[in-house]
Structure 1
Amino acid sequence: MSTPTSPFTPAFPPATTSTADHEPARITAIISALKMIPLIEGGYFVETDRDPLLIPSPFPPVPMKSVTPAAGAGQQTIRPGFDPAWRNASTSIFYLITPSSPQGTFHRNRARNVHTLHHGRGRYIVIHPDEKDEEKRVETFVVGPNVVAGERLQWIVEGGTYKASFLLPDEEGEGGSDGGLLISETVVPGFEFYDHDFLEKEALREMVGEKRAEELEWLVREE
Structure 2
Amino acid sequence: MDIAGSVALVTGSNRGIGRRFVTQLLERGAAKVYATARRPELVDIEGVEVLPLDITDQASVTAAAERAGDVTLLINNAGIATQSSLLTDDLETVRREMDTHFWGNLSMVRAFAPVIERNGGGTIVNVLSALSWFAYPGSGGYAAAKAAEWNMTNAVRLELVPRGVTVQGLHLGAADTDIMAGYEGQMIDPMEVAIASLDGVQRDAAEVVVDEWSALVKASLAADPAAFYAQFGI
For normalisation by structure 1, the TM-score amounts to 0.30
Identify the structure with the greater helix proportion: 2
For normalisation by structure 2, the TM-score amounts to 0.29
Where relative contact order (Cα < 8 A, 6+ residues apart) is larger, the structure is 1
